[in-house]
Amino acid sequence: MHRHYILHKPYGYISQFVSNHKKKKLLGELYDFPENTMSIGRLDEDSEGLLLLTTDGKMSELVRRKDVEKEYYAQVDGLISDEAIALLQQGVEIGSGDAKYKTLPCNARRLVPAPGFAERSRKIRDDRHGPTSWVSITVTEGKFRQVRKMTAAVGFPTLRLVRVRIGDTHLNDLPIGHVREVEDFKLYQC
């Protein structure tokens, strides 16, 4: 019998249970997961939000499919413009040299009001450095640090990134660092 979990990954943790880096914070520090639990997909150390975990290795393949949407809320430097939103929606070129890549078209929209997330464990910055704004970006692909590269490509670097949805599994109001066991992941909207 396989077990499945959703986790609100905090800032500063890596999406792993073991690491060669002794100073890295690991998922196993947050909850007593059963043996053979693995994260499905990754969130980098600086990113927060919804992380799926399972004891079923086949689930990973289902989540990585191109028809499963991943929605992120990004706090960006500056007041994001309509032009930048339109560029994100059309797809933007990210990377450099031989690693250049044009992202697929995506759903992007400004978030007003800003989402009411709890303060991050490490302060981002204060208002002295200028305004910030929030944008929702929904992608079906998952290149390395893709959303961060996308917002930077349109002139609005990401300051904070929170994944809020994978398929039809939502973070909702799960507090930072908390885990909820679920029967199954809802990957496709009905």
The pLDDT value recorded for residue 55 is 92
CATH superfamily, with its number, for domain 70-166: Alpha-L RNA-binding motif (3.30.70.1560)
Q: Which of 32, 44, 168, 173 is catalytic?
A: 44
Same fold, 4-64+170-182 and 70-166: yes
Strands 4-9 and 48-54: antiparallel
The pLDDT value recorded for residue 129 is 81
List the one residue out of 182, 186, 171, 170 whose CA is nearest residue 9: 171
CATH number for the region 4-64+170-182 comes to 3.30.70.580
Domains of the chain by residue range = 4-64+170-182, 70-166
The reply to whether 44 belongs to the active site is yes
Q: What is the pTM of this model?
A: 0.92
Tens digit of pLDDT at every position of the chain (190 positions)? 899 999 999 999 999 888 887 889 999 999 999 999 999 888 999 999 999 999 998 887 777 777 889 999 999 999 999 999 999 999 999 988 888 899 999 999 999 999 999 888 777 776 678 899 999 999 998 888 899 999 999 999 999 999 999 999 999 999 999 999 998 877 655 3
Let me know if 17 is exposed, middle or buried by CB neighbors in 10 A (0-12, 13-18, 19+): middle
Residues in the chain, total: 190
List the one residue out of 11, 6, 73, 12 whose CA is nearest residue 41: 6
